[in-house]
């Protein structure tokens, strides 16, 4: 399992995460939800060592990720960022092949090349394989970054808003693929999500973050209540269940307590974990 123990992080003394603990089991999907600035991206970046926490530990199958050699860590945890940092031009094929880097000693083996080609085909991107990354749409880039993580072939996969640039069909396609990865290939998935309806539909567990702390966690029906959504987002919402799915229907904005200029905004007293 991927275990986050009492994690804290600050940016130059300004606290962003405090006392976050959670586990991600293989074969399950955990969604991180919460308003902009709640700390979702920061939490994912701490887990994959882009950021160094000021407190707490992250264990992957019992091993502290911050003490693992980077190559070893890359065999255990994959990460799909929201966007790709601008680099020199590479093709789609080269970008997906880069996912095999932890396994490549000197040059890619025929197996690395074959896996890369297969993943690109399976994700219906065969026609883009030789195209430069800087000539893709935002949604296509997002799919390529997911393909790169699939090539990395890790037991745990972290995704930062994997559907934010995708159209409706591709949102469903990608989330079904992610769900199958967990259920069929027994991967542990943690993903930051903005769309509450999609996160309710595709998650086993939802963790609601508020101002860097866990506000509540549980099954989608436990977490997606009108009370929680009002407290966290300042939005009145109606919650319905139809065809086995939870539907969150936002009605209107309501008053939300103002945040102080620095430090954590006030958390409601009834923080449930
Ligand atoms: P979320 O992903 O939930 O929208 P983030 O993790 O991106 O939230 O941000 C959490 C908080 O950290 C926000 O208040 C944000 O302004 C702040 N923050 C994010 N990146 C930086 C940075 N590089 N330097 C300083 N503060 C940052």
Taking 50 as the threshold, does the pLDDT of residue 149 lie above it? Answer: yes
CA torsion through residues 56, 60, 61, 62, sign: negative
Residue nearest to atom 7 of ligand 1 (CA): 41
pLDDT recorded at residue 257:
60
29: which residues sit within 8 A by CB, 6+ positions away?
A: 178, 179, 182, 189, 191, 202, 203, 204, 205
- CA dist 119 and 152 (Å) reads 11
Residue nearest to atom 5 of ligand 1 (CA): 39
pLDDT recorded at residue 89:
74
pLDDT recorded at residue 33:
98
Atom number, ligand 1, closest to the C-alpha of residue 209: 3
The more confident residue out of 144 and 89 is: 144
Report whether residue 125 contacts ligand 1, using a CB cutoff of 6 Å: no
pLDDT digit string (tens) for 21-48?
A: 999 999 999 999 999 999 999 999 999 9
Secondary structure class of 269 (helix, strand, coil): coil
pLDDT digit string (tens) for 173-211?
A: 899 999 999 999 999 999 999 999 999 999 999 999 999
Taking 50 as the threshold, does the pLDDT of residue 264 lie above it? Answer: no
Q: How many CB atoms lie within 10 A of CB 71?
A: 11
Report whether residue 39 contacts ligand 1, using a CB cutoff of 6 Å: yes
- The 3-state DSSP composition of the chain as helix, strand, coil percent (nearest 5) reads 35, 30, 35
CATH architecture of 2-234: 3-Layer(aba) Sandwich (3.40)
Residue nearest to atom 13 of ligand 1 (CA): 37
pLDDT tier at 138 (50, 70, 90 boundaries)?
confident
pLDDT tier at 79 (50, 70, 90 boundaries)?
very high
- CA dist 171 and 249 (Å) reads 19
Residue of 194, 248, 261, 191 lying closest to 220 (CA atoms)? 248
Q: What is the pTM of this model?
A: 0.90
The residues spanned by each domain of the chain are 2-234
By CB atoms closer than 10 A (0-12, 13-18, 19+), residue 252 is exposed
Atom number, ligand 1, closest to the C-alpha of residue 42: 6
pLDDT tier at 150 (50, 70, 90 boundaries)?
very high
Report whether residue 265 contacts ligand 1, using a CB cutoff of 6 Å: no
């Amino acid at each position: 399992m991927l275990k986050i123990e009492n994690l804290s992080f600050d940016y130059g003394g300004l606290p962003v995460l405090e006392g976050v603990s959670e586990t991600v089991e293989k074969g399950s999907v955990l969604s991180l939800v919460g308003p902009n600035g709640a700390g979702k991206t920061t939490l994912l970046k701490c887990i994959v060592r882009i950021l160094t926490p000021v407190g707490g530990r992250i264990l992957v199958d019992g091993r502290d990720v911050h003490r693992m050699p980077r190559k070893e860590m890359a065999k255990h945890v994959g990460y799909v960022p929201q966007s790709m940092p601008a680099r020199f031009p590479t093709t789609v094929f080269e970008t997906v092949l880069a996912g095999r880097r932890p396994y490549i000693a000197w040059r890619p083996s025929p197996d690395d090349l074959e896996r890369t080609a297969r993943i690109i085909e399976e994700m219906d991107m065969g026609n883009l394989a030789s195209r430069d990354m800087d000539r893709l749409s935002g949604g296509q880039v997002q799919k390529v970054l997911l393909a790169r993580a699939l090539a990395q072939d890790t037991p745990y996969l972290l995704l930062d808003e994997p559907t934010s640039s995708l159209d409706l069909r591709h949102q469903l396609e990608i989330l079904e693929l992610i769900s199958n990865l967990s259920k069929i290939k027994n991967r542990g998935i943690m993903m930051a999500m903005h769309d509450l309806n999609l996160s309710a539909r595709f998650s086993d567990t939802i963790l609601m973050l508020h101002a860097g702390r866990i506000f509540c966690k549980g099954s989608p029906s436990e977490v997606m209540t009108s009370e929680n959504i009002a407290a966290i987002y300042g939005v009145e919402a109606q919650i319905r269940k139809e065809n086995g799915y939870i539907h969150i229907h936002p009605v209107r904005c309501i008053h939300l307590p103002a945040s102080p200029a620095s430090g954590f905004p006030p958390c409601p007293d009834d923080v449930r974990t």
